[in-house]
Amino acid sequence: MIKLSEYVTQFLVDNGVSCAFGVSGGASIHLLHSISENSSIKLICPHHEQSGAMAADGYARSSGKLGVAVATSGPGATNMITGICCSYYDSVPVLYLTGQVSTFRAVGNTGVRQVGFQETPITEMVSPITKYCVKIKNPAEIKYELQKAIHIAKSGRPGPVLIDIPDNFQRTMVEPEGLVEYSPSSIEKITEGFSNEKLKLIQMAIKKSKRPVIIAGWGLNLAGVQESFRQFSTGLNIPVACTWGASNILSDNKTLNLGTFGTHGTRSANFAVQNADLIISLGSRLDTKATGTPVNTFAREAIKVMVDIDENELGKFRHFDLTMDLLVHADLAEFFSRFETNNISDLRDDYENWFAQVKAWKELEKSVDSQIAQTQEINPYNFFEKFSGSLSSASKIFIDTGCSIAWAMQAANFKEMHSVFHDFNNTAMGWALPASIGSHAEYPLIDHYCIVGDGAFMMTMQELATVRHHNLPLKIFLINNGGYSMIKQTQEQWLESKHIASGLKDISFPSFEKVAKSFGFRYLELSETKEIDNTLNKVVTMTDPVFVNLIISPDARVIPQVKFGRANEDMEPLLSREQFHKAMIIPSLPSSD
């Protein structure tokens, strides 16, 4: 007989979990104590439950293992919701464990709002943003529910799950061998599979194509098929446009790698995608950031093939008047297994004219969008190009939302040995710092970089204490531009440049030097272009936590960018109409005239 909380802990260990993240609270102390007392798992305690949830998310993204975060009832549980969203919208498998008030203090059928202290119906709240959530009603259910939750979190399209455990159950004694088990054998097949008919249709489309593009998405990383993808794309000799989630998957191949595309991608990649006659989308759900708006302007003259494990993602386009020519409901591993080496070689083409056109678009992009100005004031595009070039060994880079991620995805040249992470779809401000802590806990010997804007940093800055407490040699670059530049850019596009709640008129920041030093970080300040190389060389070799205050102009903007309502090929700053029409292969839209 062992305490239920001890059983939960050992179950996590047996399932490969090496680290859990939790903030203490009255309804979670048994879980946290049991984790702390088990030598096979490490407990890291951040200063906010949101950070704990995001750390577990970062741990899972980086390691491929199940992430685990623990919180108490009431505000502890609700504080995790933003982090749960991060995992849900990016399909990251995380188990969220919440303590709940004892069953004899529960609301039950009384009709009142609350009986027990900090009692909150967390399962009802998170049901739309989890793959599975359950409140334990009997201690004997614990094995069944843990097995079921973890199976669901990892199967099909991955995602977060939550188990709510009443306080009195956590301290109940259970007999492990007598607990009921969960069997997934009755679960229906997740995908319909990849038929020979669809294989032949794709092969035929490739054979006929003169301007093909493969789209690479985050799902390639989730499925662990990066090498299969490289063999597929290089074997076919087809250029690849990347979403942010796959930005480094083919970065060592300069010929095929088009760079990132979409509303905040590169101009040349957007021209290629929009003028393609064949699109093969692998691991991307093709959201509106990828397609642009209206959605039906996306690659409108191309045969469009999409492979996805989520049938709902495949079916959504009919609601947006976008025709998808071939939808494949399959796992990516199965997809690649059907393309044997001899089949790929038979389909291969040199695409000489197509690559020449791509080269011309890249030259046009350099002449129009080059932001590599050698001035005293640091240009963010210049910095990110130099930053990525300074990383000579395997590194993990966590980038927060806002202009920081857009600048990095447009200018950085990360290698395949670099792992780049971002909260791609929930885009929560403050995610990068706790997420990098989560990853560092699993990979203490790999260099970790956290890149975060000044506004986003304020959301989770208390976790500097967590970094220092565990002596994590994290390297933080603060992109300090005096406010929320991405919001300012939107206000300039739509609100007559009225910068409300986005600049120093309405918000304030502390002395980041004093903040960093008060938490025991080494502090560096970078404000001139001529100092970039020297500073990067210093940071790369440091073995202590370091905080770099990178000061850039508050007027720095994301260039190019697609304004809402324009097709992705027509990015701001707008080309002259003569340049634009000359660059297009397919007919342009009336809105581009």
Task: Give the model's pLDDT for residue 372.
Answer: 59
Task: Give the model's pLDDT for residue 208.
Answer: 97
Task: Give the model's pLDDT for residue 393.
Answer: 87
Task: Give the model's pLDDT for residue 573.
Answer: 93
In angstroms, what CA-CA distances link 544 with 460, 471, 473, 547?
A: 20, 7, 5, 10
Task: Give the model's pLDDT for residue 492.
Answer: 95
Minimal CA–CA distance to 74: which of 35, 40, 125, 110? 125
From CA 167, how far away is CA 27, in angstroms rounded? 5
* Alpha helices, H only, 478-518: 485-494, 512-518
Q: Which residues contact 256 (CB under 8 A, 6 or more apart)?
A: 233, 234, 237, 238, 239, 240, 250
Q: If you count DSSP H runs as helices and E runs as strands, how many of each does the chain have, helices first?
A: 26, 20
Mean per-residue pLDDT of the chain: 95
From CA 409, how far away is CA 559, in angstroms rounded? 12
From CA 554, how far away is CA 233, in angstroms rounded? 40
Q: Which residues contact 306 (CB under 8 A, 6 or more apart)?
A: 281, 286, 314, 324, 326, 327, 328
Residue labelled with tokens 């991620």: 405
Task: Give the model's pLDDT for residue 342.
Answer: 67
Rg for the chain, CA atoms, rounded: 25
From CA 70, how far away is CA 56, in angstroms rounded? 9
Average pLDDT over residues 289-311: 96
pTM, two decimal places: 0.95
Structure confidence by residue, pLDDT tens digits, 480-538: 999 999 999 999 999 999 999 999 999 999 999 999 999 999 999 999 999 999 999 99
Pairing mode of beta strands 2-3, 173-174 = antiparallel
Whether 422 has a pLDDT exceeding 90, the answer reads yes
* Alpha helices, H only, 429-478: 432-442, 454-460, 464-469
Task: Give the model's pLDDT for residue 555.
Answer: 94
Structure confidence by residue, pLDDT tens digits, 544-585: 999 999 999 999 999 999 999 999 999 999 999 999 999 999
Whether 186 has a pLDDT exceeding 60, the answer reads no
- The secondary element (H helix, E strand) that includes residue 272 is helix 267-275
Structure confidence by residue, pLDDT tens digits, 92-108: 999 999 999 998 988 89
DSSP per residue, 507-552: -----HHHHHHHTT-EEEEE-BGGGHHHHHHHHHH--S-EEEEEEB
> Collapsing DSSP states into helix, strand and coil, what is residue 252?
coil
Half-sphere exposure of 511 (CA within 13 A, CB side): 6
SS (H, E, C) 300-334: CCCEEEEEECCHHHHHHHHHHCCCCCEEEECCHHH
Count of C-beta atoms within a 10 Å radius of residue 451: 29
Minimal CA–CA distance to 163: which of 181, 144, 182? 144
Q: Which amino acid is at 195?
A: S
Average pLDDT over residues 431-444: 97
- The secondary element (H helix, E strand) that includes residue 163 is strand 161-166
Task: Give the model's pLDDT for residue 340.
Answer: 77
From CA 47, how far away is CA 463, in angstroms rounded? 6
Minimal CA–CA distance to 306: which of 282, 287, 322? 282
Count of C-beta atoms within a 10 Å radius of residue 487: 18
Domains and CATH numbers, the chain: 2-186 (3.40.50.970), 196-366 (3.40.50.1220), 372-551 (3.40.50.970)
Contact 17, 69 (CB under 8 A): no
Minimal CA–CA distance to 265: which of 239, 292, 305? 292
Is the backbone peptide bond immediately before 160 cis, with ω within 30 degrees of 0? no
- Per-residue buried b or exposed e for 357-381, using 16+ beta carbons within 10 Å of the residue's own CB: bbeebbebbeebbebeeeeeebbbb
Q: Which residues contact 96 (CB under 8 A, 6 or more apart)?
A: 53, 56, 68, 69, 70, 71, 80, 84, 126, 130, 160, 161, 162, 163
In total, the chain counts a number of residues equal to 593
